[in-house]
Amino acid sequence: MGAPTFIVNTTQSPNYPGKTNEREFRSIWNQAWFSSLRSASGLYRFAKRTGDQELLDKANLTKELALSYPKKEGFFYGLIGTEMEETIAGEGDKKSARSKGWEHYYWGNSNRNPYTWDARKSPFHLLDMSWTALLMLRWYNELEKDPRLLAYAEDYAKSLLEVQSADGFFPGWLDVETLKPLAHLNDSPESALSVTFLLTLYRMTQKEEYKVAALRAMQAIMKEIIPNGRWEDFETYWSCSRVGAEDWVGKKVLRNDMYKQNNFSMFWTAEALLECYQTTKAKPYLKIGQRTLDELLMTQAAWQPHFIPIKALGGFGVMNADGEWNDARQSLFAELIIRYGKELKQREYLQRGLAALRASFIMMYCPENPDTKAQWEEAWPFFGKEDYGFMMENYGHGGETNAKGLGIGEFTIYDWGNGAAAEAYNRILDHYGADFLQGGIVVFCECIVDKKQKSLLK
């Protein structure tokens, strides 16, 4: 099909003694978390650097798949999935889920939404489309000048401008049939990702309407979201922690006078503000961007907790109403933190960015992570060298951990785990060089990070 499948679990290990039971429907996504195009861009960088034509062909196959996603008036689907079936091996056996195969495919959208769990019926999510379109522009700018990428992204941008509201925000979701905005998150910080997309497109095309729309959306976020800490997005309510989904959206919780908050929104907003500053050179964008980044960094582990058996320094949590350590988002956050460090000449940000990148690999089952490897083998004793690379998206998601494997998890999402971490490493390597990644003597932003500090950067 052109990309790794969305998710696999421990029952799909070659060493698993029982019957495979797929955790979710077999699929390939281009969504805010799970982006096959993002992972493929990292594979492309690695293949070009090492001269590996086979891997380059695989990366390009994923790009072709992304370009094949059907569109409706510029808006486009976010995943391709397969029909599933339940099977029973014998009398008394438990049911297990298996894909019917790629010949039974359909187009759909992320089912992490307020409306339906059925991806075939799920609405268009503007956040997902803006992320995919932004990745297409970055591929075009940094990897290869495939004109189809620019055309696909600009076709979407024209439609995006048509649905911007009078107050500057972009809608959360659109009905797949009518293309009309639905009821949720129509004035949320998810709009920040569309700001970054539109400003990137503006720099490439010099079409003023993209900049005007982006800055108008940014003003709305600066007025309505940032001062109030209203960091609400799809993940805040319609993923693993659904508490408050019925009656908290858009409202503060009385107990602590805070909104239910997710740090993904902080990331998109800090990134968009930096893009606004670099486009306009207006200092307030940079100042408010740093303020937003610092709020985001409150969710980074700046210490090693004694009560968990794996490394956590530099890793990120997720929100104020869920439990995770070392979440895969840290691979996305790492370069933004470094960019602020470069712009502001702040050594701490450089260290935090590198720490986030290194934490992105901590959950991987491999000899290089002995503490993590031991936890995987406690939980899944059949794991062996054939399973090297298996990597949970975070640690302790269930709220409980111990030294006997509780908290290590049971699945891998390539595009929100090992593939995402590898993409971030290859991108940052291309942008800043090997010396910076190794933490040796580097003159960077007029700051000197010398080898005496190397232990802090590990």
Q: What SS3 class is residue 6?
A: coil
The answer to whether 28 and 5 are in contact (CB under 8 A) is yes
> Residue 94: pLDDT band by 50, 70, 90 thresholds?
confident
Distance between CA atoms of residues 253 and 167, nearest Å: 25
Q: Which residues contact 344 (CB under 8 A, 6 or more apart)?
A: 286, 290, 445
pLDDT, tens digit (0-9, with 9 covering 90-100), for 6-39: 999 999 999 999 999 999 999 999 999 999 999 9
Q: How far is it, in rounded angstroms, from Cα 313 to Cα 300?
A: 8
**Predicted pLDDT at 142:** 98
pLDDT digit string (tens) for 415-441? 999 999 999 999 999 999 999 998 743
Phi, psi of 325 (to 5 degrees): -115, 155
Which residue do the tokens 């095309």 mark? 205
Question: For 183-205, what is the mean pLDDT?
Answer: 98
- Retrieve residue 90's tokens: 């014998």
Apex CA 254: angle with CA 251 and CA 255, to 5°?
Answer: 135
Give the confidence band of 92 by pLDDT, cuts at 50, 70, 90. low
How many degrees, rounded to 5, is the angle at CA 240 between CA 297 and CA 115?
115
pTM confidence score: 0.95
Mean pLDDT of 211-237: 98
Task: Dig out the tokens for 103 from the structure.
Answer: 């010949």
Q: Residues in the chain, how many?
A: 458
Is the per-residue pLDDT at 130 higher than 90? yes
**What's the pLDDT tens digit per position in 370-402?**
999 999 999 999 999 999 999 999 999 999 999
Q: How many CB atoms lie within 10 A of CB 400?
A: 9
Average pLDDT over every residue of 394-414 = 96
**How would residue 451 be classed by pLDDT, with cut points 50, 70 and 90?**
very low
**pLDDT per residue as tens digits for the range 299-340:** 999 999 999 999 999 999 999 999 999 999 999 999 999 999
